[in-house]
Structure formats: structure tokens, C-alpha cells
Structure 1
Amino acid sequence: MSAAKANALTATWASRSPGAVFSAAAVYPLLALLASVASGRARLELSAVAPQTMRLPVRSALGLWTREGVPLTLDWAARADPRLTGDPLIDRPLLDAWAAAQTGAPVPPLPFTAADPDTVVLAAALAVTADWVIPFTDGVLRPAAGPWAGRRLASLHRRDPDLTALRAVKSPSAVVTLLTVRGTADIDVVLCTAAGAAPPPDVLATAVETFATAPVARKGPGITSALVDAADPAPELVVKIPRFAAAATHDLLRSADVFGLRAAAETALFPGISDEPLRVATAAVSAAAAFTAPGFRATPVTRAPVVPVTLAPPPATARALRVTVRFDEPFGYLAVHRPTGLVLLAGWIDDPEPAR
């Protein structure tokens, strides 16, 4: 299944160098397309990473671009994107406008560098949007310990009756807590954290590999449980999360082996594109994400002032189980397409938004 292979690419990317936001899902269809028009070692390497074609279930911008002057096969010429001139002042705005038009949202600028005449450029951008089924309330989080101790962070709080959203799993180095925040448009966001000095690549890769199978938990990093006086005896899950926004553009050729682009970045044969030897001169993906009170936005959002909110508790008439999970030290996240299990976006947050 292509979703499983795309998630495997996400896990590999996460285990190497997880950034604030990245998307292997946006890259995978391009790699599969490039494999279908390549031959020799380039085809073998690309097919090992992306053996099957896949259509993304969200709006995206995916394109293989060639320079003017590259002779194209009749089939490729019939479906090729507009040709690039090789002048960054012309081509960079062209790529940015194309990405915004395809995704329907502003995205970080795609990098473009002048390259040799006989080249192929891979470009991808992704937009993911979902409203929370249960919205959050803006507030302030003050971690008492850890790397964020003493900081006042813009945070999101909510109460959730579904305790099965909280899970935990053992990674090679630590126990990882996973929280699934359910959204509309078939999108969930899975948050992951581990205590102490657990390596972020290990935590995030573990989340990618286990978010669908990890068991429900009442214990784990950031989790506390207690019986409290309440008006309703039903158990509840209290969630406290720093608000965050992130944007990044990644040069895939810096880790060409991860994406099967080692041979393709050298002079290679792509008979499905041209009879001339070509090489992938630029391969980049841009993504942006924001975790806000009403929902998840894969674009920067307008920020509103944050004020502490105090709620008067209802009169206590019973005892109830209250499970609280706090993400008050660096954590990771995954944006997941619920029906297929495809990880659309992932990232690691180590510097959340301060409270105003």
C-alpha cells in the first residue's frame, strides 16, 4: 500500500533530522512519478523508496519542471508544466504562484537556483486544514520544570470525554505519550512527547510507526490521573498544549539517499521525459502548519491576543476520574488522513509561541 510506504519515508526522514514541519507525503508522489520515467540505477533507487503511485487526499502542488531547451518526448511534452527559463528572477515567482494556486493557500517560497541546461526540477507544497471536533480555549501555560521552565507560553486547553485518545508506547529510548486530536475533513493531529532527554528523532519516528496501534494509557510522560469532585461521574481527559506555528522548506538533495535521488542527481537517463541524459538539479518541498484553538491550519494564521481564562467549576455531586495530559516540554506532531492512515505532515516543536 502506498500510504504505508509514504509513512515509512516519513519515519526515515524523522529519524534523520526532524524539523519544525516536513512532509514526506508531498514528496512521495513526485518520486513515484520520477521512477516511472527513469531507467537504470536511478529507477532502482527511486522505486525502492516510492514503488507505487499515490494521489494525495488533500490539496497539493506537485510538479516536475524542465528547463527550456530540453527536448521532450511527445508524451511528456503533452502533460509537462510550463518550462523554466533558468533565471531565478523569473522562475522563482512562477513556482511560488503555481504552488499557491494549486494548494489554495499561501505556502513558504520554493527555492530555485540556476542550474545546467539539461535538468529536471522537483517541487512540492501541501495544504492541510481541519477544524477540531471539540475546540480548544486559549490560555497560558507555565511549565514548572524542563527546558521551558519559567516561560509563559500561549496554550490551548480543553476537556474531552474520550479517554481512548490518549495512548503510550515504548520506543527504543523512552516511553512515548501519544494524543490524538480529532478534526474535521478526515484529518487528525497526533501529538507525541517523552520525558527527559529522549532524542526527538526517536520519539517522532516511534509516533509515525505506532500511532495506529499504540495501546490506551493512563500513565506516561505528561500524564497525571486523579479522582476529583465533579458534577458528572463520567471520566474526562483534560488537555493542555502550547500553541504553535511552523514553516520550512527542505532541500531534498541534501539527503539524496533517503529519497532515492542519489543517481538521479547525477547524469541519468529518463526516457519517459527526454532522449537526452538529464539530472535532478533541484528537489524541494515547502510546508507550513499552525495548531490553533479552532483547528489545524497548514498555513500561517493571524494571531490574536491571548488572555488567561478562569472557569467556575460546577457544584460537585460525585467523584470522577480526571486524566490530564500536559505537553510542557518539546514535542512532536503528525497530521494524519484518518481513512488511509497517511501521515500528511510531521514536525518537532522546541520553541512554542510565548504568551502575550
Structure 2
Amino acid sequence: MAVIETAVAGANAVTRRWVATIDAEGSVAVSGAGVWPLLAYLAPAADGASRDELTAAVGLPAEEAVAGAAALVELLQTTPGLRAAIGAWVHPQLTIRPQWRDTLPPGTVGVLGEQAVLDAWVREQTAGLLDRMPLTVDHETLLVLASALVARTRWREPFDDGMLVPMAGPWSGRRLAGLHRTTADRDLLAVYETPAGPVTVLTVEGTDGIDVDLAIGLPEAPAATVLAAGVDAPSAAPSRRGSQFAEGETAPGVTVGTGWGYDDTPRLMASLPRFTVASSHDLLAHADVFGLRTVSDLSSQRLPGVSDFPLGVGAAAQDLTASFTADGFEAAVVTAFGMRAGSAAPSGRPLQVQLLLDRPFGFVARHRPSGLVLAAGWVAQADAMS
């Protein structure tokens, strides 16, 4: 398996473990792709249990982790629609090993100073989508290692803006900013079986090889299960595709009937609310997901490959924003580790597969050629009609 393939698999595994911790109390989004390179840069610099845990989280042998990080960052930096950067800031009184410095991209390392410098880097790298570094520098911070990731795409087939008023469920009676689209390609929709019942996934294709999968399960299905199905969809076998639905059949969010059209060509109609999700995460709250349990214990030297001075991960955080509109999708992620000591009358009656996302659902943004999951999240609150 090529280095980039193992790196993508490792990053997706982080996302998969992370979404398993999500509950349905509110909207949330995560990006394993934003965390994974930082873990990969630290794994070979750690020792003992720290090294073992980081290596397991990365999914590559420690000696191959840096090559994996470099390959993933290069993919993100050279793919149209994507942008990525790595940043590192070192306290003036901390000496880091040249061997570790050289594992980072050229021009990455700067001097750690005021918070404003780090915040300005975030604004520059995300084109203003995010405003500040997700962790705060204090007098104990000796080293900050950060990644920034931006994804932007426009839909191959745009949606029409309108209104959506759910008739049941948690959004019942709300006037939501609706998005509506009709397409002839019914196989953009598929149903997958999960332990919590069927999950319907609609793939919304974007330009530059970036897609967003929208996933909805039964009303009682846990958000984590629905999102896991969305993350796993490309490698899973669907129980049914959109073209296999017959009139009268249903699935989560799906009804099938006949409607008016200009001909008898079957079609897929999709309606959902416009949404923006913003999230902030303390990664140490789920330290085992990222292999950060031991390396965040500051009782002894955890990163001898970074510096002779005893270092550990004192803080780890991620901020993310993601927006889905009629024209496209955009997301920005910053992750940081802080080391411390019409017109003609219709005449046809086509079969009509209709997907209505009128209650909480999940989304997974993915780089189509590599399969890298860029961001995944749960939409518990949708945009209201203005």
C-alpha cells in the first residue's frame, strides 16, 4: 500500500473513532484529517508508552509516520479546492532537536511570542473563516504545533433556495432556509444497514473531487451510528440504491411515488435545510481517541525526540466551521497542540424518489479520489428562514 493510502486510512480511522463519541445534543463537526498530521509528527519523537499510543493512533509504524504526514499535507496542499498548512512556534528559551525540526515542512518553525501572532496565522491560513488559534498561549507554553485545513467546493448541480417547514420531529413547524434539487441520477442515494437500522446516504457531488455525503437514520438512531455509516459508505455495500426503489417503498427520509414531469424519466428529489456548524473541541477530553493519554501526563519527559528539555502535550484543541449552501460547501479546521515544562406544461408521470431531511442528520465531506474524510458532523440545528 502506498504511503498516501496508509496515511488516508489512518486519518479516516481517527475520524471514525472520533464520531463514535458524538451524541445528538447539539450540532457538532470534527476533522481527523486536521489532527492526524500532528500525531504523526509527534509519534517518532515520543518514547515508551507515549510512542506506543501515538503510533497506534496514527496507524503507521513510528519510523514511517513522518513520511505519511508529509504525503497527507502534500495532498491537501496540491489538490484544487483544498488548502493546508503546518505551523510550529518555539519558545526562545527552548532548544529543539534539528532532526525533529527537519521533519516539518520548510518554513514551518517560528518563534513563540504573543497570542496575536498565532491568531493572525489562523486568519491567513483559513482566509478569515476562523479567527483565532484554538488554544491560548500562556507563560507555561513552550511549543505550539498546529495545522490548518480549508475545503471549498461548488456543486456540480446547484440547489434552489426556498423554504422548508418540517411537519414532525424536533424541527416541526419551524420555517427553515430550505435547499431543493431534482436530478435524474437516483443512484446518488443509497441505503446501508447498521446495528441501529437502515441509514440513507445522499452523495452531493462537488467540483475538484470534493463530495459531501448527507446521512439520516431512523429517528431513534444514535448520531454516532449514522455518522459512522456516512464515513464508511465508500467501502460498504449498500442494501439498496436509489434506482432500486419501487413506488410505495420507504427508507429513512425517503418516500417513493409518482409526480408530474416533462417526460417519464425517474428522478431523485432532495430537500434539506441550509446549515452552518461551528465546533470547538478539547482533544484531551477524548485522549484515548488520539493516543494522547500518556504524552499529556506532564510528570516526566514524553518527547525526547523533540528536545532534551522535558516536554509533554499540555493542551490540544480543534476549532472547525462548516457551511452547506445552495451553491456549495466550505469548511475550515485549525488544530493545535500546546507543549509545556420553466415553461412547458408537464405531461409525464415519472417515478419520484424523494429524500426529505427534515430532522437532524449527519454530513461527511470527502476528497473523492483519495477517500480522505475532510470533516464530519451532525446537524442538530438548521438555519432559519430570514
State the distance in 1 between where 2:218 and 2:332 align.
29
Map residues 1-356 of structure 1 onto 2, 5 A cutoff. 1-17=6-22, 20-50=28-58, 51=60, 52=65, 53-54=68-69, 55-56=72-73, 57=76, 58-77=82-101, 81-85=109-113, 90-91=114-115, 93-115=116-138, 117=140, 119-215=142-238, 216-217=241-242, 218=245, 219-266=250-297, 267-298=300-331, 314-356=344-386
State the distance in 2 between where 1:70 and 1:131 align.
45
1:121/1:283 contact within 8 Å kept: no
State the distance in 2 between where 1:158 and 1:350 align.
22
2:88/2:110 contact within 8 Å kept: no
Q: Which amino acid aligns with 1:226?
A: G
State the distance in 2 between where 1:229 and 1:140 align.
21
Q: Which amino acid aligns with 1:69?
A: Q
Any stretches of 5+ residues in structure 1 without a counterpart?
Answer: 301-311
Aligned-residue Cα RMSD (Å) equals: 2.1
Q: 1:325 to 1:249 in 2, by over 3 A?
A: same
State the distance in 1 between where 2:48 and 2:275 align.
44
State the distance in 1 between where 2:209 and 2:84 align.
16
| Alignment TM-score, normalising by the size of structure 2 | 0.82
Aligned-pair CA distance for 1:213: 2.7
Q: Which amino acid aligns with 1:188?
A: D
Of 109-118 and 221-230, more deviation after overlay is shown by 109-118
State the distance in 2 between where 1:331 and 1:108 align.
27
State the distance in 2 between where 1:64 and 1:264 align.
18
State the distance in 2 between where 1:142 and 1:12 align.
34
Of 271-280 and 164-173, more deviation after overlay is shown by 271-280
State the distance in 2 between where 1:129 and 1:84 align.
30
Aligned-pair CA distance for 1:230: 2.1
1:46/1:260 contact within 8 Å kept: yes
SS at match of 1:178: strand
Q: Which has the higher helix share?
A: 2
State the distance in 1 between where 2:172 and 2:234 align.
28
Offset from partner CA, 1:178-201 (integer Å, 9 cap, x none): 000000111000000112221111
Aligned-pair CA distance for 1:160: 1.1
Offset from partner CA, 1:202-247 (integer Å, 9 cap, x none): 2112221234434214341111111233212211111101000122
1:130/1:295 contact within 8 Å kept: yes
Any stretches of 5+ residues in structure 2 without a counterpart?
Answer: 1-5, 77-81, 334-341
Aligned-pair CA distance for 1:111: 2.8
Of 110-119 and 169-178, more deviation after overlay is shown by 110-119
Q: Which amino acid aligns with 2:265?
A: A
Residue equivalent to 1:304: none
2:149/2:332 contact within 8 Å kept: no
1:30/1:63 contact within 8 Å kept: no
1:118/1:278 contact within 8 Å kept: no
Aligned-pair CA distance for 1:283: 1.5
| Alignment TM-score, normalising by the size of structure 1 | 0.89
SS at match of 2:111: coil
Residue equivalent to 1:305: none
1:119/1:279 contact within 8 Å kept: no
**Kindly, what percent of the aligned residue pairs are identical?**
40
1:168/1:176 contact within 8 Å kept: yes
